[in-house]
Structure 1
Amino acid sequence: MLRAAVLVVSTTAARDASTDAAIPALKDVFATDGYGKWDVVETSIVSDDAASIQKTVSQWTDAVGDDSKLINLVVTTGGTGFAISDVTPEAVSELIEKPAPGLVHGMLAASLKVTPFAVMSRPVAGVRKRTVIVTLPGSPKGAKENLQAIIKMLPHACVLAAGIDSRSLHSGGVRKLEQRAGITGSIACQSHNHGGHGHGHGLVRHAQPAHAPLSSPLSNNLSLGPTRRNRASPYPMLSVDAALACIKEYTPDVIETERPVDQDLVGFVLARDVYAAEDVPAFRASIVDGYAVVVPKHTDEQSASKSSNRTLSGIFPVTSVSHAAPDEAKVLRDGGIARITTGAPLPAGANAVVMVESTVLYSTTEDGQEEKEVEISAADVRDGDNVREVGSDVRKGHLLMQKGERITAVGGEVGLLAAAGVQRVTVYRRPVVGVMSTGNEIVEHTARPPSELRLGEVRDTNRPTLLLAAQEWGFATVDLGIVVDQPQTLEQRLRDAVRQVDVVITTGGVSMGELDLLKPTIERALGGTIHFGRVTMKPGKPTTFATVTVKEPDNVSDNLAVGGHSTRRSVRPIFSLPGNPASALVTFHLFVLPALRKMAGEHPHGLPRVPVVLSHDFVLDRLRPEYHRAVVSVGADGVLQATSTGGQRSSKVGSMRGANALLCMPAGPEPLKAGAKVDALLMSNIRSEL
């Protein structure tokens, strides 16, 4: 870890630290854009005073002793403008021993892309002792943007300033340094944007394993404009099986958490075996309505003898009543019986229960309200008859459920755990899913009355459809709204999303248009890794799977990862699905659901696969395997039959209506005839034609 310090130069903030927003903004940049390389170990606020600035910076840079305490980077924010009080550049310049004009140029170039007023900033940068110093603007937004512009190069500068051997560090050339920093130089960008199909760098990319993380961006460089964009996708085409293997490899593993045993436990998978905390029942209880009695205990020889008489008959006084409710323990008096209800505890001394059907009321109390005596005539009454013994259902310490079992709403698991006194269990945390639609043309489906859409507007169907699909599979969701095709807006909304949810789903913006911004934003702005950007399938060819690394808080809740101050990092999967409605829903079930189920500890990860018989001819795509939307039903002969939902164009919303399966259709020149067998992936229950 490299150690950084942040100095805020602001007279206002020095008087009231609560007014400062720069420190949290810069800490966020180190955590989010620094790829886990930075630890902010010092922060301070001083007034706009040259002596105060120099004193604090010198204390950080001039400390001697343990190298593990070395401050590698000092960033200041504030005092770089033209105001009379702005003295930071002058104060810091006197301290710098080796100027770094390249860092200054990089910051100014980035700022000028945002606003022409960047020319009013006066940053300085350089090295003092073994520490790199950079001055940033005073506005939190400007400071953040300037630091983001150079943060990928700063580790290289800092380790050189700290004294590492430059020859070994530079071995492998500039390309290796760029790859190590997670950036791409201008020459590499141009080669990609001109096709990248000749010898050299293009071959290196395609020589990588098909699902390996890419070491430098393949996506369009948005700063070069539409004339320099890729005309064909630079991403290798993966088979569906290879894409699924990639998702399995790079989707985060399960996380254990503890939850109470209640109705909200449904859907969770146990992370550890669960044992009974107490006996069930905890007392000897009657399993019928009747009368608790005392019967002689026979020896084994007597029990085996057919001549042994176990008939209980006579007139018995009713000496007590035992109901299935908390009460003091009753004691059965000699010669008496006790009226008892189902589930009630046996009175002390009783060892059997005679069913009420084997009795006759003999006499009542004087008011006629209660039984006084009951006549019993019951044959073959034995010790323990109609009695549930302690622990006869569940014994304390008995294994109730095993690791990997899923809690359902219909299987009685919650009732079993509750009955055995289990109050909390360890389960796998279920990921929270966020869904975002992208595109300037997308509007809320309720935004306009019928027939009043403006030219080019499209009602958002993907977002509500995918939110409901995730919920149907038992996952909590967050509606991330609609995002316009604007790079800075999309970047910020994605940054917010990966801090708010565990898995992000976007639709649209993954094809080859100049406004298809998802891949460049994920790869270039967020520093994410695009594991694949095309799949050989119909529909859904441009489906994209990526991961980004985010700072994980200490106080992760059972479902949502927000807040906190930890330096731990976590991986967030991003699934960028096609914008066509049918494609989005098919690829959700085929690719997103296995990732969600893996993170939740469920098995199998994918949809259940069953063989079906085609009920009619199916036309095949000549080049790509197709996942055909269909209805699978069971006929009178018990055979599963599949019927198409109709036209399968990827933009055709109606093709998903009523579909409960995806048929795995091969590519081929000729139709598959009725009666042919194929595999079907079941999205919901099989229908019955009986």
Structure 2
Amino acid sequence: MPAPVLRAAILVVSTTASKDPSTDAAGPALQSVFETDGDGKWSVTATQIVSDDEEQIKTQILAWTDPKNKVDEQVNLIVTTGGTGFAISDITPEVVAALIEKPAPGLVHGMLAASLQVTPFSVMSRPVAGMRGRTILVTLPGSPKGAKENLQAIIKMLPHACVLAAGMDSRALHSGGVKKLEKEAGVSAAAHTHSHAHGHSHGHGHGHGHGHSHGHGHGHGLVRHETPSDTPSTSRLVSNDPSLGPTRRNRASPFPMISVDEALGRIEEFTPDHRRVEKPVDEELVGHVLAEDVYAAEDVPAFRASIVDGYAVVVPTTKDSQDTKEPSGTFSGIFPVVAVSHAEPGDEEAARVLSAGEIARITTGAPLPIGANAVVMVESTTLVSKTDDGTEEKEIEIRAANVHDGDNVREIGSDVRKGQIVMRKGDKITAVGGEVGLLISAGVQRVLVCRRPVVGVLSTGNEIVDHRTGLSDRLRLGQVRDTNRPTLLLAAKEWGFETVDLGVAEDQPGELEQHLRDALRRVDVVVTTGGVSMGELDLLKPTIERTLGGTIHFGRVSMKPGKPTTFATVTVKEAVTAAPEAPATERNVRPIFALPGNPASALVTFHLFVLPALHKMAGESTRGLSKVPVALSHDYVLDKERPEYHRAVVSVGAQDGVLRATSTGGQRSSKVGSMHTANALLCMPAGAAPLKAGAKVDALLMGSIRSGQ
């Protein structure tokens, strides 16, 4: 790939982003277009954010196009994003048009024509393009999706325009004819004509957020006629256009088949990181991961306390130095009981000063009286006398050997010192590890934790009957009861995540879109089942890609079951609580996992792909299912082409302690019963010959290991 030779600058026009640059998503979207669609011909040398202010826009463009700039400061292309609509503050086209010396209406037409293939609302945009000096100026919409699509529509032709504007001889540049130019740009006039004539958008390769850098190709206007392969071609791969009807849909998936490991890598890469939230220290903290180190707010214990029931005494000590103490020898005699110290708040007798020769009865956890320096256990004492009313001890005889200063005493801060780290960032709060008790004992009232994502589950399909209704009704021909949604909701809850039941969406583009938009407002992760294969009613991929402007990171995985599993992300704008002068919204990424509709496939792919994403968003360092080696208890037939995640029961041998795996039976992906009793997924390789009993494979544990015979 040739080194970048053309310099581009991005000007973001947004009053909101100028106050908080973190809210800008259009700038990074355009940067990605230059990187993934620019064929290595571009270097983005500058990005600036300005308000919707005429003077700021004008000043920045003039600075970039100043003919006195040094060679390394000159830019070939300036793209602006924002301020091209009909709002009162939208002034970018007017400001840029006033600076243009030579208009370029062809670029404007190219952007509008491409956008109209996506939505009729493109007519609401007011782009302008042209030259100022030796620099090409182009205005793009403010939405990341619109800006991305418009730039993708013309980026293949822009190098030609830029080198001519920079002063290259046009005769030399055009010497090979237009066919040579088309070949160098990676475009085809025939492909453009074909795609326009049919009025669909996948000839333009907008991708609708499909512009990730996994080698999927970035050609524009190219319609594939050859048999698709599992290797990404040079064209941009897009989902079916539902408006074309069944006769013009893809006959094979345009998404390349990737390995499970590559799919997991993309999930790790594109799943958003955890978000931090402050929570009180109570039982609701269980399951959360700490987002920062936690320090003790006070000493534990906060006072010198007895660790046994007995008598606080004053032991004579002899010190050779400040650091060592000699044993005091046998401590014995008859002593008056002058005080009682109980583990009760406000116990006044605990504040009494104890003198040599006096003792105080004390209970476990009670504070030592002032002057006491050791505690003798009650087992080493004998009652000598009582008070006149017979209710209290008057004198006690002690016979104890080698009593030391500090015996049976918890010193101040001996468990935890104030300011000491009691838990580390990344530690998980469990119900059995005592973490909540530790935090409470150290005086910690609130902690910053990683917010646990909320999971929504949506079933799709005209044939689906809600499991909560119609159970007493007989199913009509073609209907099936919804097993996936309750199963996945329960699986997510079992792993400690809050869930939202998103119901059932029929296979209608408008209804599916509305369900997904509603889901993206309510939950952090959307899980759907069904509608991801190659049928004419499989609408999830097109809806995510074309309607929601999402990015599909993979659409097929080489595995059994679960081949059509799809992972995508959609950027949504959310309202936030903020000061009046700060932005009222922020952009956040929502993962969408479109799982197959077959019950076994749905549950297998949930554990294999969704769970690691949930763990990442929850801040957990260990992600996905735990893996252990197991021995096969019988022969297993392998799939010849794809690795299989075989449902099995893993148990430990009572005699030898060996982990063994037994199949749950028939593994057909539609067979609900194949998950019954299963506590593991066996990672079985593809192969022609069966694996024999006793062979070792890895098992992914979905539940606790059973006890064997």
Give the TM-score band, short-chain normalised.
Answer: 0.7 to 0.9
Query: 1:315-464, aligned counterparts within 5 Å?
Result: 315-328=335-348, 329-334=350-355, 335-450=357-472, 452-464=474-486
Is this contact kept in 2: 1:106–1:150, CA < 8 A? Answer: no
Distance between the aligned counterparts of 1:456 and 1:33, measured in 2? 45
Question: Is 1:61–1:128's contact at 8 Å kept on the other side of the alignment?
Answer: no
Secondary structure of the residue that 1:246 maps to in structure 2?
Answer: helix
1:2/1:155 contact within 8 Å kept: no
1:6-85 mapped onto 2 (5 Å cutoff): 66=59, 73=83, 75-76=85-86
Do the aligned residues in 1 keep the contact of 2:25 with 2:144 (CA within 8 Å)?
no
Residue-by-residue CA offset, 1:397-456 (whole Å, 9 max, x unaligned):
333222322221111111112211222333333222221111111121121134612222
Matched residue type, 1:489: E
- Change in Cα spacing, 1:435 to 1:32, as seen in structure 2 (3 Å) is farther
Indicate which of 211, 223, 241 corresponds to 1:191: 223
Contact residue 98 and residue 126 of structure 1 kept, 8 A: no
- Structure 1 pair 439/625, CA: closer, same or farther in 2 (3 Å)? same
Listed as ranges, the matches of 1:122-271 within 5 Å are: 172=185, 182=208, 191-192=223-224, 194=225, 197=228, 206-207=232-233, 216-271=236-291
Cα shift at 1:581: 0.6
Q: Does 1:642 align with 2:654?
A: no
* Cα distance between partner residues in 2 of 1:300 and 1:254: 56
2-structure distance, mates of 1:273, 1:516 = 47
TM-fit CA distance, 1:292: 1.2
Distance 1:321 1:606 in 2: 52
1:239, CA displacement in angstroms? Answer: 1.5
Q: Residue 611 of structure 1 aligns to which amino acid in structure 2?
A: P
SS in 2 for 1:316: strand
- Pick closer, same or farther for the CA change 1:490–1:298 going to 2, 3 Å: same
Once residues 518 and 344 of structure 2 are traced to their aligned partners in structure 1, the CA distance between those partners, rounded to angstroms, is 55
Percent identity over the alignment?
Answer: 61
Which of 282, 287, 311 is equivalent to 2:302? 282
Could you tell me how far 1:643 is from its partner in structure 2?
A: 0.9
Matches of 1:367 and 1:338, distance apart in 2: 19
Q: Which residue of 2 aligns with 1:480?
A: 502
**What is the match of residue 81 of structure 1?**
none
The answer as to whether partners of 1:72 and 1:158 remain within 8 angstroms in 2 is no
Structure 2: gaps of 5 or more residues: 1-10, 16-22, 31-47, 63-79, 89-102, 132-136, 167-180, 193-202, 211-218
CA distance in structure 1 between the aligned counterparts of 2:593 and 2:469, rounded to whole angstroms? 26
Instruction: Say whether 1:684 aligns with 2:706.
Output: no
Residue 635 of structure 2: SS of its match in structure 1? Answer: coil
Query: Partners in 1 of 2:111 and 2:262 — Cα distance?
Result: 42
Residue 629 (structure 1) aligns with: 647
Which residue of 615, 623, 632 maps to 1:605?
Answer: 623
What is the aligned partner in structure 2 of residue 589 from structure 1?
A: 607
Letter in 1 for 2:248: R
Deviation of 1:522 (Å): 1.2
Question: Which residue identity is paired with 1:651?
Answer: S
CA contact (8 A) 1:272 1:427 kept: yes
**Contact map agreement 1:261 1:422 (CA 8 A) in 2:** yes
Q: Report deviation, 1:678.
A: 1.3
Deviations 1:194-233 (A, max 9, x none): 5564xxxx99x7157xxxxxx8442111111111011111
Shift of 1:681: 0.8
**What is the one-letter code of the residue matched to 1:373?**
E
> 1:166 and 1:502 mapped to 2: Cα distance?
46
> What is the identity, as a one-letter code, of the residue corresponding to 2:469?
A
- Note the residue ranges of structure 1 that are not aligned, 5 or more in a row: 6-29, 43-59, 79-96, 113-117, 135-146, 209-214, 557-563
Residues 586/126 of structure 1: CA separation in 2 closer, same or farther (3 Å cut)? closer
Q: 1:565 to 1:224 in 2, by over 3 A?
A: farther
Aligned to 2:351, what secondary structure does the other structure show?
coil
1:332–1:338 Cα contact (<8 Å) kept: no
Distance 2:686 2:603 in 1: 21
For 1:487 and 1:502, locate their aligned partners in 2 and report how far apart those are by CA, in whole Å. 22
Separation (CA, whole Å) in 2 of partners of 1:158 and 1:238: 30
CA RMSD, 1 decimal:
4.5
Contact 2:561/2:645 (8 A) holds in 1: yes
Distance across 2 between alignment mates of 1:433 and 1:513: 27
| Whole-angstrom distance in 2 between the partners of 1:549 and 1:599 | 15
Distance 1:674 1:132, change over 3 A: closer
Match of 1:663 in 2: 682
Q: Return the letter of the residue paired with 1:662.
A: L
Mark the CA change 1:304 to 1:506 in structure 2 (over 3 Å): closer, same or farther: closer
1:617 aligns with 2:635: yes
Give the counterpart letter for 2:635 in structure 1.
D
1:474-513 matched pairs, under 5 angstroms? 474-513=496-535
Report SS of the residue matched to 1:628. strand
Taking the aligned partners of 1:183 and 1:530, their CA distance within structure 2 comes to 7
Write the distance in 2 (CA, Å) between the matches of 1:546 and 1:110.
19
More off after superposition, 336-345 vs 451-460: 451-460
The whole-number CA distance in structure 2 between the counterparts of 1:481 and 1:168 is 56
Work out the number of aligned pairs and report it: 592
Query: How far 1:632 sits from its partner (Å)?
Result: 0.4
Q: For residues 394 and 366 of structure 2, what CA distance do their matches in structure 1 show?
A: 20
Offset of residue 62 of structure 1: 11
Shift of 1:369: 2.7
Measure, in 2, the Cα distance between the counterparts of 1:576 and 1:435.
Answer: 10
Kept after mapping to 2: 8 A contact 1:322/1:330: no
Aligned counterpart in structure 2 of residue 294 of structure 1, from 288, 293, 314? 314
Amino acid at match of 2:275: I
Q: Offset at 1:262?
A: 2.0
1:3 CA drift (Å): 3.9
In structure 2, do the counterparts of structure 1 residues 457 and 31 end up closer, same or farther at CA, with 3 Å as the change threshold? farther
Matching residue of 2:569: 547
Tell me, what secondary structure is at the counterpart of 1:238?
A: coil
Which residue identity lines up with residue 462 of structure 1 in the other structure? N
Distance 1:414 1:572 in 2: 31
CA distance in 1, matches of 2:535, 2:630: 39
TM-score by length of 1: 0.74
Give the partner amino acid of 1:466: L
Letter in 1 for 2:287: G
- Kindly state the Cα deviation for residue 579 of structure 1 after the two structures are TM-superposed: 0.4
Distance 1:72 1:652, change over 3 A: closer
Q: Is the 8 A contact 2:339 2:352 kept in 1?
A: no
Shift of 1:672: 2.0
Distance in 2 between residues matched to 1:598 and 1:547, nearest whole Å: 15
